[in-house]
Amino acid sequence: MTDTVNGVPTSSPEDELVWTRMLHLPEIAELRRRRARVTNTLGGITVVLFTSFLVAFIGFPDQLGTTVVLGVPLSLWVVFSQFAGTWVLVWAYFRLSRTYIGPAVDDAVKAVERNRPASEEVAS
């Protein structure tokens, strides 16, 4: 890795070798896979949610303004769905972080501690 300000290497080749080896640990690979799955899935849902919002307001402005459901214009329901949908996505991310990603983080930390070279020991 190179310092972009000074143009000097900030780590030695040994450090890069250690980190390359750490990235190939099965626990780290599993953590990366789980994080990618969660972020890609929730990110895809977010794109669909906001795309539907844009399509609704660009493609059907008259229907949204004139249609009333339970005494509330449909346009307000669409806006509320964006608000509620965003909160559901945030809740899902926090929940999955705790229940799905969290155990993989714990396993990855233990694997890194087991495989850390002796020269990397941190003095306490």
Instruction: Write out the residue range of the structural domain in which residue 48 sits.
Output: 13-117
pLDDT at 51: 94
Residue 69 in domain = yes
pLDDT of residue 19: 73
pLDDT on residue 16: 62
Measured CA distances, 99 to 45, 83, 84, 96, 117 (Å): 20, 24, 22, 5, 30
- Selection from 96, 102, 90, 93 nearest residue 30 by Cα: 102
Give me the number of domains the chain comprises. Answer: 1
Q: Establish if 7 belongs to a structural domain.
A: no
Q: For residue 2, is it within any domain?
A: no
* Inter-CA distances, 30 with 95, 108, 111, 116, Å: 18, 8, 12, 18
- Does the global pTM surpass 0.75? no
Query: Would you state the pLDDT for residue 108?
Result: 92
The series of mean pLDDT values per 10 residues for the chain, 124 residues long, is 58 64 88 96 96 90 87 90 94 96 94 77 51
